[in-house]
Amino acid sequence: MPDEARPAAAAQPDRKADQAAPGQGAPAKTSGDKPMATRGHTVSGASPVSALKPGNGAQPAPARPLSKPAPRPSSGSVPRGTASSNRVRARLARLGVQRSSPYNPVLEPLLRIVRGNDPKIETATLRQIERAYQVAERWHRGQKRKSGDPYITHPLAVTTILAELGMDPATLMAGLLHDTVEDTEYGLDTLRRDFGDQVALLVDGVTKLDKVKFGEAAQAETVRKMVVAMAKDPRVLVIKLADRLHNMRTMRYLKREKQEKKARETLEIYAPLAHRLGMNTIKWELEDLAFAILYPKMYDEIVRLVAERAPKRDEYLAIVTDEVQSDLRAARIKATVTGRPKHYYSVYQKMIVRGRDFAEIYDLVGIRVLVDTVRDCYAALGTVHARWNPVPGRFKDYIAMPKFNMYQSLHTTVIGPNGKPVELQIRTFDMHRRAEYGIAAHWKYKQEAVAGASKVRTDVPRKSGKDDHVNDMAWLRQLLDWQKETEDPSEFLESLRFDLSRNEVFVFTPKGDVIALPAGATPVDFAYAVHTEVGHRTIGARVNGRLVPLESTLDNGDLVEVFTSKAEGAGPSRDWLGFVKSPRARNKIRAWFSKERRDEAIEQGKDAIVRAMRKQNLPIQRILTGDSLVTLAHEMRYPDISSLYAAIGEGHVAAQGVVQKLVQALGGEEAANEDIAESAPPSRGRGKRRSAADPGVVVKGVEDVWVKLARCCTPVPGDPIIGFVTRGSGVSVHRADCVNVDSLSQQPERILEVEWAPTQSSVFLVAIQVEALDRSRLLSDVTRVLSDQHVNILSAAVQTSRDRVATSRFTFEMGDPKHLGHVLKAVRGVEGVYDVYRVTSARRP
């Protein structure tokens, strides 16, 4: 289906009308079908694919006037019945037929190009092309494009582009018929019966490519691979590129949003695909047309700059060209020397990607030297270097070491007249055609090699053989072999290396996105390619609507759907490691089990610490809820307390030794028992910021005493509280239900009555716990919300469980405890958060 428009419904013709009268549905003029008045052209010189440039639309050249047949003699003017008179009449009749065009006048421009490509082409082949047009015109009759033109103008324009590329007759017929199977009731089986297996294969290939969905989540590289993998014959890709080129030329009739979508697809998928196939003429025009739609202001600015500088540049270019031509004549090297056109999008790319000024890019003159033989290429290089000094490091021999798309040429940069650099490309005429038309040049050479040798048959499938480099995409495989040998890591599409049939399969998600997987991949590989959590929780799969085992092998084009478990603790099976193919799936499965082992080690380490503390009768709850252990973990070079627990659980560190260091850090057992939370030393180099504000608490009957709020329970106004006299640190205020109150009550003489008396300068410490489904940027989103609530965050810690639940604890200062309800409500509004509450020593998570 062409990208510009879905055709309107049309009455379907009678199938027996294979011999419809020529001339039905002649293309209407589409002279306005270009994106902009000056867009889509090269900076200097026209694109070789010029029959349907913007401005020409799909209007064919006028047909030649038909010759008037010889007049038939009147009865009696010539003796009747003589053999000589019969021979004369037969000869005159033949002459009359030869002077007339026997084909539909609408097809004359197309057939003129076809005859130019192959002067010895047989009449029967041209008749087959005409019949393909008649069938397409009949089935598309009544359908219109968005421009209002008859729909047949589109396949005719596409086929004209294919003819200019030198494609074979089967491809031309497929170009004329490429929309009939999808947009009309003309079936593939009927097409195969009418035009043979080869044309049917090409039309079917284009139809399948039209069904590939370019979803928002699909990566351009993956879609490019999918397109190539689905095209069993590379000519399908050439037809698709010609189809997209004509649609881009006539894009102005679509809505702006649709234009931009198609232009972006063109830049990301089709232009790189044309580059891969070596079809630079198509690539350049697609890029310029898409550039004009996506960045109209930048496009117009570059067009203006080019127009301003063109005269001086052309003058300098003429001087360089004359001097090179003169030197080559003196060396008796037959050559054609021309300037190399610069394309608007390539200028833009160099300005944006390489950060170069327009003057630096455009003023760099480039010329191309075309010679007959490879020997002449090197001889011409020596001649140029004898006149001008080459720039070191700028010579590249792509003849000896071709690029990945079979491009061959010698590149060099010299210091030309007036000390300005000049870029030169030197190659043979054959290399030049390959550089311009890429894979399409192959059919041009093939036709020239067999022209006149045998009749063109489109009803017989091509046989695979060593000499047939087209069948089974051998040409593209050769491109891949060459690409692997290239030594230039800066090639624009180096990252697009792929093996068409052996290394990858391409499958669809239920939304139509394309997923690339290794050959032999299973639904489990697919699940991990979608998302790690989907892979972990996979319990079943459906492929093309049928339930299949998880170890089933996927094929190209499969529609895959997986089922996941919502059960807590759901995870992968170790058996999966025996059949998954993708490195991603294998690594994620191993990481899951590694994390599971680490979680077990953390629990074992924590239990060991608790047992060691109990042996010394230390206040376990105080130590585990305070900062002392966290500080010690940092001093022991562990990033967090979980890593310290894991080290203990795995036996790398002794729990008893950790407890001894902790007690020493707290100033001995006595100090530890008094108030560990308040006496914990700051971590080295990262002192905690302590508020000097009024704690908002007074001790009954006592004045001028230092009062501080205990950090083990973080009381706030409204909480029942008690005071405890510490040794040298004033009165520590705890919640009445603090877990440490029982141990403090064993020394009743140190218990004091206290009460709240908050002032405007009072600042209180609050700890909250946030429970949420783990996702990226969760911590960032929560801290942003807390900051918006104007609280001063002092610490934050996050742990993720095996079931992907993230538990975050935040400690912050706030002046008005009544504001806490608003803070908790704001945090609950963060995506993924399902619970948030204040944490005290009376309420452990």
How many angstroms separate the Cα of 836 from the Cα of each of 240, 529, 768, 822?
55, 33, 7, 12
Decide if 448 contacts 184 (C-beta within 8 A). Answer: no
The question of whether 788 is a catalytic residue gets the answer no
Q: What is the DSSP string of 551-596?
A: TPPP-TT-BEEEEE--STT----GGGGGT---HHHHHHHHHHHHHH
The DSSP line for 395-417 is -EETTTS--TT----EEEEEE-G
- Tokens of residue 71, six digits: 């007049």
For residue 423, the SS3 value is strand
Q: What is the DSSP letter of 376?
A: H
Q: What does DSSP assign to residue 460?
A: S
Active-site residue flag, 472: no
CA distance 409 to 425: 6
Secondary element (H or E) of residue 360: helix 358-362
Q: Which is nearest to 174 in space by CA: 208, 203, 136, 209?
A: 203
The label of the residue with tokens 């052996």 reads 502
| Angle made by CA atoms 418, 424, 427, in degrees to the nearest 5 | 155
Specify burial of residue 189 (Cβ count, 10 A radius: 0-12, 13-18, 19+). exposed
Alpha carbon distances (Å) from 744 to 29, 613, 730, 755: 97, 18, 15, 18
Q: Which helix (H) or strand (E) holds 756?
A: strand 754-756
In 3D space, the residue among 197, 193, 196, 151 whose CA is nearest the CA of residue 176 turns out to be 151
Question: 739 to each of 733, 734, 842, how far by Cα in Å?
Answer: 13, 10, 6
The closest alpha carbon to 106, from 145, 150, 143, belongs to 150
CB–CB of 731/755 below 8 Å?
Answer: no
Place of tokens 């918006």: 788
The Cα–Cα gap between 680 and 672 comes to: 9
The DSSP 8-state label assigned to residue 804 in this structure reads S
Six token digits for residue 657 = 């030794």
Q: Which amino acid is at 189?
A: D
Q: Which amino acid is at 271?
A: A
Angle at 121 between CA 66 and CA 477, to 5 degrees: 135
Catalytic residue of the set 182, 268, 436, 504: 182
In angstroms and rounded to an integer, the radius of gyration of the C-alpha atoms of the chain is 40
DSSP string, 242-258: HHHHHHHHTGGGS-HHH
| 3 state SS of 731 | strand
What DSSP character marks residue 730?
-
CB-based burial label for 359 (10 Å; 0-12, 13-18, 19+): exposed
Between β-strands 504-508 and 396-397, what pairing exists: parallel, antiparallel or unpaired?
A: unpaired
Residue where the block lists tokens 């089935």:
139
Percent of the chain as helix, strand, coil, to the nearest 5: 45, 15, 40
Specify whether the CB–CB gap between 33 and 57 falls below 8 A. Answer: yes
What does the alpha-carbon distance between residue 4 and residue 455 come to, in Å, rounded to a whole number? 37
Which is catalytic among the residues 164, 183, 243, 781?
Answer: 183
Instruction: Cite the beta strand spans of 165-236 per DSSP E.
Output: none
In the beta sheet, which residues pair with residue 423? 366, 413
Task: Tell which residue, 646, 794, 607, 609, has the closest CA to residue 714.
Answer: 794
- 7: how many CB neighbours lie within 10 A of its CB? 21
Active site residues: 182-183
